Amino acid sequence: MTHHSSERPGKIVCVGRNYREHAKELGNEVPKEPLIFLKPPSSVIRSGDAIVMPGASSQVEFEGEIGIVIGKRLTGASEDEGRAAIRGIVAVNDVTARDLQKTDSQWTRAKGFDTFCPLGEESSTFPALDDLTVVTRVNGTERQRGRSSEMVFSIPALLANISRIMTLEPGDLVATGTPSGVGPLAEGDSVEVEIPGVSRVTNTVTRSR
Ligand code: ZN
């Protein structure tokens, strides 16, 4: 079953540095607790829409991620309760203005521009949570490949942890972090994030004028 694509998450909770090799490639340590931030729902686009690089940035990068769509309200949840509350899985591109992420001490601007959250179709049919794969391709060339088994914090652990900070509500999205291999996008590129057999999102890149 897929949910119709016009639905927008109530909130988008993202996880930073949840793969050891990605933390390393940006010169960061793996955090002791999940490092979370929010993307605004207004950043959501769908497959086929354009990612618009803003004039404020000269380094817009892709981050392919496994997205978890919440189906049941979670507050102070256990890992088992978190697992049971998952409604579906969706491919996410956590598009990031890397230069602004480095210069700003808060990531709201770097992560929050319009079009910076391409989402694939949601699927309620998916492999075991520790057996998901995410692949990113730019112009058909594979650039990232990560497995949920490589995450620093597992999907149920993330849901439990986040629900102790903020209530997760039906329709909310949790983006679970990106594996290594992130890199810049250029005008005219086609970028695709795929969770094989589950969800895929493909977008072309333009520049604002
Ligand atoms: Zn990310």
Residues measured by CB to lie within 5 Å of ligand 1, the ion: 63, 94, 178
What pLDDT digit, counting tens, does each position of 57-108 carry? 999 999 999 999 999 999 999 999 999 999 999 999 999 999 999 999 999 9
Does the pTM surpass 0.85? The reply is yes
**Residue 142 backbone dihedrals phi, psi, to 5 degrees:** -70, 130
For the chain, domains (ranges, CATH) are 12-207 (3.90.850.10)
What pLDDT digit, counting tens, does each position of 123-181 carry? 999 999 999 999 999 999 999 999 999 999 999 999 999 999 999 999 999 999 999 99
CA–centroid distance, 84 to ligand 1, in Å, is 24
CA–centroid distance, 175 to ligand 1, in Å, is 7
Query: Is the model's pLDDT at 7 over the cut of 90?
Result: no
CA–centroid distance, 13 to ligand 1, in Å, is 10
CA–centroid distance, 62 to ligand 1, in Å, is 9
d(CA 57, CA 68): 28
d(CA 66, CA 144): 12
Query: Is the model's pLDDT at 122 over the cut of 90?
Result: yes
Average per-residue pLDDT for the chain? 96
H-helix or E-strand containing 91?
strand 86-93
Place of tokens 């808060």: 106
In the beta sheet, which residues pair with residue 192?
137, 202
CA–centroid distance, 93 to ligand 1, in Å, is 8
Q: Which residues contact 199 (CB under 8 A, 6 or more apart)?
A: 67, 89, 90, 91, 120, 121, 122, 123
